[in-house]
């Protein structure tokens, strides 16, 4: 299983490198496919048939990609600011419900599942493209490192010291110790990055520089919380649907939604925070 996971990750990494090398339009196209497949899997979890799920996913992603290709993105700052603000508030509500119902879970009906899919995924993709335009793939990678760092650190800290369950009715393996470990390690890492790395397009460096040290730590803490919210929400959807993985499209990893669940709230929130700094 480990060798299969490594092989799949290696192929994905190679495709990503080739897309970055080929240029922004190719990079945007490859990521449109990835986000489109995540949207398809999300819709299928909501019990939508394969044909309408594929059709909706294709229409949404082609529309978003076409806007990017047509050069509309630089004119969409205020639109993104409003949309991402609404999406971020929605994710905060979801996180509150997850924690409030941590012992017994809470129901998400089919309409709520489908609506969240068709809103959250395109918002995340369009925000992803905006970040890439602002600071190339380096800025995107620095945001993704927050997500990946929180996930990996929570996993290993939870395995090493985890005793108190975070949301046992939603994701029994996640612990408060894992969350605390993720917060400590990720925040310390990005503080060191700020002190020793002079790269201005790193997301946290930009936030620390423009918003101040205190607000920078608060923003980073919020993004870590949202990454956990996204992970928990997919776990809850899969639990309600009675499935283990969103699909088997990625051997050893499950589906694209499995790999991108934490990105759905974090990317729009990071974009909103950058826009708030730039617009005001």
What's the gap between Cα 45 and its chain centre? 18
Cα→Cα distances 264→21, 35, 127, 189, Å = 25, 10, 10, 22
Measure the CA–CA gap between 66 and 72, rounded to whole angstroms.
9
| Tens of each residue's pLDDT in the chain, 280 residues | 557 777 887 888 898 889 889 888 999 999 999 999 999 999 999 999 999 999 999 999 999 999 999 999 989 999 999 999 999 999 999 999 999 998 887 788 889 999 999 999 999 999 999 999 987 788 999 999 999 999 999 999 999 998 899 999 898 889 999 999 999 999 999 999 998 887 788 999 999 998 888 999 999 999 999 999 999 999 999 988 888 888 888 877 788 999 999 999 999 999 999 999 999 8
What's the gap between Cα 267 and its chain centre? 6
* pTM score, whole prediction: 0.94
Could you tell me if 183 and 221 are in contact, meaning their C-beta atoms sit under 8 angstroms apart? yes
Total Cβ atoms within 10 A of residue 142:
22
Could you tell me if 64 and 126 are in contact, meaning their C-beta atoms sit under 8 angstroms apart? yes
What residues are paired with 165 via a beta bridge?
175
Measure the CA–CA gap between 11 and 90, rounded to whole angstroms.
34
């Amino acid at each position: 299983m480990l060798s299969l996971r490594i092989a799949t990750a290696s192929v994905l990494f190679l495709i990503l490198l080739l897309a970055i090398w080929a240029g922004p339009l190719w990079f945007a196209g490859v990521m449109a496919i990835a986000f489109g497949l995540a949207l398809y899997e999300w819709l299928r979890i909501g019990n939508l048939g394969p044909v309408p799920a594929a059709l909706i996913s294709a229409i949404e992603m082609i529309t978003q990609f076409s806007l990017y290709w047509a050069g509309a993105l630089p004119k969409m700052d205020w639109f993104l600011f409003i949309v991402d603000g609404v999406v971020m508030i929605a994710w905060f509500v979801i996180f509150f419900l997850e924690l409030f119902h941590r012992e017994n879970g809470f129901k998400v009906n089919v309409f709520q599942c489908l609506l969240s899919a068709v809103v959250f995924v395109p918002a995340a993709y369009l925000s992803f493209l905006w970040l890439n335009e602002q600071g190339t793939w380096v800025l995107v990678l620095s945001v993704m490192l927050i997500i990946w760092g929180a996930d990996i650190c929570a996993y290993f800290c939870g395995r090493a010291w985890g005793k108190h369950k975070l949301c046992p009715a939603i994701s029994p393996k996640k612990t408060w110790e894992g969350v605390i470990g993720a917060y400590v390690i990720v925040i310390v890492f990005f503080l060191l990055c700020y002190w020793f790395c002079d790269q201005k397009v790193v997301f946290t460096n930009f936030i620390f520089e423009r918003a101040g040290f205190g607000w920078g730590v608060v923003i980073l803490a919020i993004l870590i919380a949202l990454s956990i919210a996204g992970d928990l929400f997919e776990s809850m959807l899969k639990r309600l649907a009675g499935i283990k993985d969103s699909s088997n499209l990625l051997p050893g990893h499950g589906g694209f939604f499995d790999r991108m669940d934490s990105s759905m709230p974090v990317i729009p929130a990071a974009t909103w925070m950058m826009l708030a700094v730039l617009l005001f």
